Amino acid sequence: MEEIYSRLNDVFRDVFDDDSITVNESTTANDIEDWDSLNHITLIDAVESEFGVRFTMGEVSGMKNVGEMAEIIAARK
């Protein structure tokens, strides 16, 4: 999981153009200033590309925090 969070940090920093971002299992859209619905689509695409996974629409709409995203990625590896 440590590697997943490290790579997720890189993706989040790139998508939101903010090197100070550090995500953890409880990080939500409320914690990152520019995380709106448009950036959410960009983020999902970037995460899918980084990890070579595809999220279902149900997974995307059901994710409550970064921890749930990391768990889905880990389950697919």
Q: Is the torsion defined by CA of 28, 37, 21, 25 positive or negative?
A: positive
Contacts of 62 (CB under 8 A, 6+ apart): 68
Q: Which domains does the chain have, with CATH numbers?
A: 2-76 (1.10.1200.10)
pLDDT per residue over 24-36, tens digit each? 999 999 999 999 9
pLDDT per residue over 35-74, tens digit each? 999 999 999 999 999 999 999 999 999 999 999 999 999 9
Confidence band of 77 (pLDDT split at 50, 70, 90): confident
φ/ψ of 55, rounded to 5, equals -90, 145
Q: Is the pTM of this model over 0.75?
A: yes
